Amino acid sequence: MGCCVSSGFSRSGSSNNEETISSSCLGFRSRRSNRMKRSSAEHVTAMHHLHSIPNRIFANGNSRTSCIFTQQGRKGINQDAMVVWEDFMSEDAIFCGVFDGHGPHGHLVARKVRDDLPLKLLSFLQSQESRQNGLNNNCFGRKTKLEGDSEKDGSTEDNLGSLWREAFLKSYKAMDKELRSHPTLDCFCSGSTAVTIVKQGLNLFMGYIGDSRAIMGSKDSSDSMVAVQLTVDLKPDLPREEERIKRCKGRVFALQDEPEVPRVWLPFDDAPGLAMARAFGDFCLKDYGVISIPEFSHRILTERDQFIVLASDGVWDVLSNEEVVEIVSSAPTRSSAARILVDSASREWKLKYPTSKMDDCAVVCLFLDGKMDTESEAEEQCVSAVSYCGQQSCTATELDDGQNSEPFLQRNFTVRSAEDGNPNNKIQVEVEGDGGTIIDEQNWSGLEGVTRVNSLVQLPRFSAERLNA
Per-residue pLDDT 10s for the chain (469 aa) are: 444 433 333 333 333 433 344 444 555 444 434 444 444 455 444 445 777 788 899 999 999 999 999 999 988 899 999 999 999 988 889 999 999 999 999 999 999 999 999 999 999 988 877 777 655 444 434 433 444 455 555 666 778 888 999 999 999 999 999 999 999 999 999 999 999 999 999 999 999 999 999 999 999 999 999 999 999 999 999 999 999 999 999 999 999 988 999 999 999 999 999 999 999 999 999 999 999 999 999 999 999 999 999 999 999 999 999 999 999 999 999 999 999 999 999 999 999 999 888 999 999 999 999 888 754 344 444 444 444 444 444 433 333 333 343 333 344 544 444 344 444 444 444 545 544 444 444 444 444 333 334 677 777 765 444 444 4
Q: Does residue 15 lie in a domain region?
A: no
Buried b (16+ CB within 10 A) or exposed e, 1-14: eeeeeeeebbbeee
Q: Does residue 2 lie in a domain region?
A: no
Q: Does residue 36 lie in a domain region?
A: yes
pLDDT in tens, 178-229: 999 999 999 999 999 999 999 999 999 999 999 999 999 999 999 999 999 9
Q: Does residue 1 lie in a domain region?
A: no
Q: How buried is residue 402: exposed, middle or buried, by Cβ count under 10 Å (0-12/13-18/19+)?
A: exposed
- pLDDT for residue 412: 52
pLDDT in tens, 372-401: 875 434 444 444 444 444 444 443 333 333
Q: Does residue 12 lie in a domain region?
A: no
Assess contact for 157 and 140: CB atoms under 8 A.
yes
Assess contact for 193 and 279: CB atoms under 8 A.
yes
CATH (domain of 190) = 3.60.40.10
Domains held by the chain: number: 1
Beta strands 56-57 and 280-281, pairing class: unpaired
- pLDDT for residue 119: 94
- pLDDT for residue 186: 95
- pLDDT for residue 47: 42
- pLDDT for residue 396: 37
The domain in which residue 193 lies consists of 25-404+411-417+426-468
Q: Report the distance separating Cα 299 and Cα 286, nearest Å.
A: 30
- pLDDT for residue 443: 47
Q: Does residue 122 lie in a domain region?
A: yes
Q: How buried is residue 284: exposed, middle or buried, by Cβ count under 10 Å (0-12/13-18/19+)?
A: buried
Assess contact for 70 and 364: CB atoms under 8 A.
no
- pLDDT for residue 161: 83
Helix axes 321-329, 337-352, angle to 10 degrees: 140
- pLDDT for residue 403: 38
Q: Report the distance separating Cα 45 and Cα 117, nearest Å.
A: 11
- pLDDT for residue 51: 74
H or E element at residue 314: helix 313-316
- pLDDT for residue 92: 87
